[in-house]
Amino acid sequence: MGRFAILAGFTLLGFAIGFIAYLVSPTLIDFLAYALPQLFSDPRVAGAFLSGIAGALIMDVTIILWSYLSK
């Protein structure tokens, strides 16, 4: 697979996730408004959330670098 195909695949995956998130957002927003203050009152959960965000960013950067640097 070429770089373009990999990036296109991740683009389509991101689009699908965003599309589905938009459709479920009213219910999800109500749930998050209730659940997040309770979840983040525990420092372990807040740390795990931040670690998840960092892992996602690292994965995105790694995929982008791999796609541009591989031959």
For 13-69, how does the pLDDT look when each residue is reduced to its tens digit (9 = 90+)? 888 888 887 888 788 778 877 877 877 787 888 788 878 888 888 888 888 888 888
pLDDT at residue 33 in the model: 76
* CB 36, CB 28: distance < 8 Å: no
User: How many folded domains does the chain comprise?
Assistant: 1
pLDDT (0 to 100) of residue 56:
86
Domain range spanning residue 36? 3-69
Q: Output DSSP code: residue 40.
A: T
* Per-residue pLDDT at 1 exceeds 70: no
Tell me which amino acid residue 51 is.
Answer: S
Helix (H) or strand (E) holding 71: none
Asked whether the beta carbons of 63 and 10 are under 8 A apart, the reply is yes
Q: Is the pTM of this model over 0.85?
A: no
